[in-house]
């Protein structure tokens, strides 16, 4: 699964975690994450998988469609 830079930033915001924390947990460099989030680079497939894994593991759900139209969003799903 590929996510956009905006989705990554929004997910971190919902989880209230820093770039440094996400990078450390995803086992990638903070610089790589930072460059991705400002749109200067795209992570490798393995890095993207690690980023998405951390975020979804913390309850983030990525939205790529809304009302039948392409979307670029995130929601935080919490267990009841």
Per-residue pLDDT reduced to its tens digit, 6-62: 999 999 999 999 999 999 999 999 999 999 999 999 999 999 999 999 999 999 999
Superfamily of domain 5-76: lambda repressor-like DNA-binding domains (1.10.260.40)
> Counting beta carbons within 10 angstroms of the beta carbon of residue 51, is it exposed (0 to 12), middle (13 to 18) or buried (19 or more)?
buried
**What residue segments make up the domains of the chain, in order of their start?**
5-76
Q: Which long-range contacts (CB under 8 A, 24 or more apart) does 45-48 make?
A: 48/1, 48/2, 48/3
Section 60-66 average pLDDT:
92
**Residue 40 and residue 63: Cα distance in Å, rounded?**
23
The residue ranking higher by pLDDT, 80 or 10, is 10
What's the pLDDT at 21? 98
| pTM over 0.75, yes/no | yes
């Amino acid at each position: 699964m590929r996510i956009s830079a905006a989705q990554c930033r929004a997910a971190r915001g919902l989880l209230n975690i820093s770039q440094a924390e996400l990078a450390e947990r995803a086992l990638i460099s903070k610089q790589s994450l930072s460059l991705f989030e400002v749109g200067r680079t795209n992570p490798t497939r393995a890095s993207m998988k690690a980023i998405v894994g951390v975020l979804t593991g913390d309850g983030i759900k990525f939205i790529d469609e809304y009302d039948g139209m392409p979307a670029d969003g995130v929601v935080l799903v919490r267990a009841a």
